[in-house]
Structure 1
Amino acid sequence: KNPLFSALASNKFKIADFLLKREADINYKINGGEYKDVDIINYLYFISGFKDFLNTNNLKYILNNGFNIRQVTTDLINKMVNRNYSDGLLEIILKHFIYDDTFIIRLLSVYKNRVALTTEQIQNIITDEKRKINIDESVYENADEHENYDAINMILDYDGSGNESIIEKIEDYEILERAIEYDNIKLVKKILNYDFVDLDQLNIENALSEASKNINVEMLKSLLES
Structure 2
Amino acid sequence: MIEVEDLVKTFKQKDGSRLFAVDELSFTVQAGEIVVLLGVNGAGKTTTMRMLSTVLQPDSGQATIMGYNIKKEPQKVRANLGFLSGDTGLYGRLTARGTLSYFGKLYDVPAEKIQNRIEELSDILDMNGFLDKKIDLLSTGMKQKVSIARSIIHDPPVMIFDEPTIGLDILTAKNIISFIHRCRQQNKCVLFSTHIMREAERIADK
Report the structure, 1 or 2, having the larger strand content.
Answer: 2
Between the two structures, name the one with larger relative contact order (CA 8 Å, sep ≥ 6): 2
Tell me the TM-score normalised to structure 2 length: 0.29
Report the structure, 1 or 2, having the larger helix content.
Answer: 1
Tell me the TM-score normalised to structure 1 length: 0.27
